[in-house]
Chain A
Amino acid sequence: MSTDLRERLERLATRAPEPGETADLWRRGRRRQLRRTAAGVAATLVLALVAGVGVAALWTRLPDAAPTDEPTRLVLPDRFFTPSPWLPGTDDKGPIGPLVAVIRCERRSLWGSESALAGISATTGEYRFLDLPDEAWPNASRLREDVEPALSPDGRRLAYWYLGHPSGDPLVEEQGDLSIVGVAVYDTVTGHVDRMPLKSEHGIAPWALVWGGSTLFVRAGLLTEGGVLNDSDGFGSNSEGVWSWRPGRGEPTFGAGSLSLDGPGSPEGYLADSRRGWVLIGPDGSRTVVAARAAISDTPLMSPSGGWAAGISDPTPNIDDSKPQPLTVVDVGSQKSWVVPGATALQVVGWRDEAHLVVLSRTRDNELLYDSVDIRSGEARPLTQRSWGDGGSFDVAAGLWSAPVVEAREPSWPWDRRWVSGGVGLALGIVAWLVMMLRRRRVGP
Chain B
Amino acid sequence: MSGREDFEQYVAARMPALLRTAYLLTGDPHDAEDLVQTALVKAVPAWKRIAGSPDAYLRRVMVNENISGWRRRRGREVLVGETPDRGQADPDTASTLALQRALAALAPRQRAVIVLRYFEDLTERETAEVLGVAVGTVKSQARDALARLRLELPDLAFEEDAGPAAADGVTVHQGR
Contacts and interface: CB of A to CB of B under 8 A. Distances in A.
B125 interface: no
A112 interface: no
B103 to A, nearest CB: 8
B65 to A, nearest CB: 7
B27 to A, nearest CB: 9
A6 B176 contact: yes
B70 interface: no
Interface string A422-445: 000000000000000000110111
A10 interface: yes
A19 B19 contact: yes
Contact of B16 (A8, A16, A443): A16
B173 A9 contact: no
Contacts of B156: 3, 5, 8
Nearest to B8: A26
Contacts of A15: 23, 29, 81-82, 96, 100
A114 B92 CA distance: 87
B167 interface: no
A396 B23 CA distance: 85
Interface residues of A, number: 35
A140 interface: no
Contacts of B32: 16-17
A365 interface: no
Interface of B: 4, 7-8, 11-12, 15-16, 19-24, 29-30, 32-33, 37, 40-47, 49-50, 56-57, 60-61, 64-65, 81-82, 91-92, 95-96, 99-100, 103, 114-115, 118-119, 132, 149, 155-158, 172-176
25 contacts: A1-B92, A2-B92, A2-B175, A3-B173, A5-B114, A5-B118, A5-B149, A5-B158, A7-B176, A8-B95, A8-B99, A9-B24, A9-B99, A10-B176, A11-B96, A12-B23, A13-B24, A17-B33, A18-B19, A19-B19, A26-B8, A36-B45, A444-B60, A445-B64, A445-B65
